[in-house]
Amino acid sequence: MSQQNLLVELFVEELPPKALKKLGDAFSSVLVESLKAQGLTAENSIVTAFATPRRLAAHVTTIAAQAADKQISQKLMPVSVGLDAGGNATPALIKRLNGMGLDEAAVSQLTKQLDGKNETLFLEVTQKGAQLAEGLQKALEEAISKLPIPKVMSYQLVDGWSSVNFVRPAHSLIALHGSDVIAINALGLTASNQTQGHRFEAAVPVVTIQHADTYAEQLKTEGAVIASFAERRAEIVSQLNAAAAKQHLKPIDDEALLDEVTALVERPNVLLGQFEEIYLEVPQECLILTMKANQKYFPLLDANGKLTNKFLIVSNINPADPSAVIGGNERVVRPRLADAKFFFDQDRKKTLESRIAGLDKVVYHNKLGSQGERTERVRAIAKAIGEQLGGAELAAKADLAAQLAKADLVTDMVGEFPELQGIMGRYYAQHEGLDNDVAFAIEDHYKPRFAGDTLPHNQVGLCVALADKLETLVGMFGVGEKPTGDKDPFALRRHALGIVRMLIEAELSLDLDLLLMMVIQALNDDEIWYAARDRDLIKKYEVRRKTGVSSSTMSLRSSITVDTHAIIDFIFDRLNGYLREQNFSSQEIDAVISLNTQLLVEIPKRLEAVHSFSRLPEAPALAAANKRVGNILKKVEGEVKAEVHTHLLAEPAEIALNNALSKVKPQADQLFEAGDYTASLQALAALKAPVDDFFDHVMVNADDLALKANRLGLLATLHQTMNRVADLSKLAS
């Protein structure tokens, strides 16, 4: 069977740059998977993807001209249905064979095989291997149909009558098996061995590909195109670093920008541009953003990470005299920088406080009011959190930062560049001479914005960031905007993870349940009376819990209700994923989380303790015993009090267990209260022998009800002692 390397290329008009890499990878992977499914590839076939602004291509090694024939065993029907008593074909079998294009003579090719309990007829047939032309036609159609196209366009073909739908108009198709053209077609095109190179710098107008293996080299030498996305990207990185090194500077690190620029050029040529230093008076985030987002330039930074007035241009042409290209780019960027400076200068003429009233005109959500109303809610929550974490001084700073946090949304700069929200608020606060803690809290209240992002710089920022995320989460759940599947338009999963990270990583001793109560009060326009030192509050909260109010729904803004359990479950789902990334086992995580501990800051310590405990030789037996105890107690009707009457202890084994508990429980409890969870759990190791002995020699369900009740009380005491740090039964295999 003839085997050669295969090349397929679609030459099109400029593809969407942000989607190019994904399009190139999808085109090649779907193509080769389809060929593989048809038996046209070899065990060692390798696919190489190519993607440039004007082409998608794939090179696949070791492709057969025809797939090998395959023996197929096709199930027909039970023997009792297909054959009569004499072993002759029944009408039902003949009809089935006729439907497959076979006659009664095919009965001789049937075999009998057991299929479950029944004997079944199978047809053994040889399926002819697919020809490459038909197999490639199918693979190409599948690859085109499965492209992750952002937006399809419809265009007319050359005949003037037909039209097709594709991401961009396609102009030519290459299909080469070795040096042979494969007769296939797609998008109104018939395959050939011809394509086009660089729009301006190709050595020839049409590049005729001699062989599938010469594609990349011919495009480079004759077409002035680097066909490989990865190779072109590496070339850009090399040129950027070389050009920056000559200036003793470094280009900004931005992977997304690098991918986008790679998708915009076919043969990169990096050039150096610069702008007037007066624009450096504008915050560098503004200048960097306008150069990256609008012009796709790479700003240059000095050794301290400070922006300079120089930038790098990735050009798609390589003229002998690049001055015209450089000058043109400098002229284009100058008005952008001038606009940024104008916005910055104008914005500083008004204070952030004077802009707060403008937030009343900015809609936050039609059921939750304006940004102005939301600001007041976040203020109340942030102030209450600040009171808990640092008293009146922190509460006052958190209140001020929350009041000003959204004010920059109505500035000209943020109106032009929404990505700068928070950042500009910090600059304007510093310009006004506000406390640096407040200024940085304005910027940081959006943090963490993504996985791996830093937390707020200071306690003020933590208060406002926590308040902002909690208000969003509770509010959106209250109006039914919960994430569904992969849809999360309000980034509630990110907000929940941010809450988890701040409570744990910043070591904030704040109860999640009570935090949610605070938010619900703020959303109800109630005064927040939450204070950890206010015992009346705790009692009031406990009354709400016992009456079932907080455990089901609570009123929110008159007509809206909040299911607090659903929100806690949602946050704990994010917590579970977060902890898995810390390399704890699912059993260990389940053991700690199942206690529904609301002080999330304690969870890592508890996990470390459980992890250490699980490595003790006594751990498996104690975990199994704990599970057994839990199952026994669950079956008891009514409440079992964790108390033991020593005069009712009859068996030596129960006396020994009670004596062991009398020694271990005070020690474990004392260590638990001191926060030494590891030592508290390790103290339980002394219980292994008496627990084992108890279950070997004591009948819990004694006929004497007093004895039974006392033994259940002993087990309840044991269960209570063992499960303060975590539910150890979750460790049982």
Identity (one letter) of the amino acid at 250?
A: K
One domain for residues 490 and 512: yes
One domain for residues 521 and 634: no
Identity (one letter) of the amino acid at 213?
A: D
Average pLDDT, the chain: 89
Predicted pLDDT at 528: 53
Query: Looking at residue 609, which CATH number applies to its domain?
Result: 1.10.730
Predicted pLDDT at 551: 38
Q: What is the CA radius of gyration of the chain?
A: 36
pLDDT digits (tens, 9 = 90+) for 226-239: 999 999 999 999 99
One domain for residues 97 and 213: no
Q: How many domains does the chain have?
A: 5
One domain for residues 527 and 672: no
Q: Which of 106, 122, 126, 104 is nearest to 114 (CA)?
A: 122
Q: How many CB atoms neighbour CB 403 within 10 A?
A: 21
Residues of the chain predicted below pLDDT 50: 1, 529-553, 555-556, 558-559
Residue 592 lies in a domain: no
One domain for residues 309 and 446: no
Predicted pLDDT at 152: 86
> CA 476: distance to chain centroid?
20
End position of a domain, from candidates 221, 239, 257: 221
One domain for residues 428 and 447: yes
* CB proximity list for 5: less than 8 A, separation 6 or greater: 59, 60, 61, 62, 63, 177, 178, 212, 213
Predicted pLDDT at 526: 59
One domain for residues 141 and 60: yes
Angle formed by the axes of helices 423-431 and 436-444, nearest 10°: 160
Residue 381 lies in a domain: yes
Residue 199 lies in a domain: yes
Identity (one letter) of the amino acid at 549?
A: V
Residue 469 lies in a domain: yes
Residue 541 lies in a domain: no
Separation of alpha carbons 398 and 498, rounded Å: 18
Residue 361 lies in a domain: no
One domain for residues 650 and 712: yes
One domain for residues 316 and 401: no
One domain for residues 431 and 522: yes
Judge whether 185 and 173 are in contact, CB under 8 Å: yes
One domain for residues 497 and 610: no
Predicted pLDDT at 550: 41
Domain holding 167, by residue range, is 3-67+131-221
Query: Looking at residue 406, which CATH number applies to its domain?
Result: 1.10.3210
Residue 339 lies in a domain: yes
Helices (H), 594-704: 603-614, 619-634, 652-673, 677-682, 688-697
* Assigned token pair, 242: 């070389």
Residue 598 lies in a domain: no
End position of a domain, from candidates 127, 151, 176: 127
One domain for residues 212 and 146: yes
End position of a domain, from candidates 127, 146, 161: 127
Q: How many CB atoms neighbour CB 100 within 10 A?
A: 11
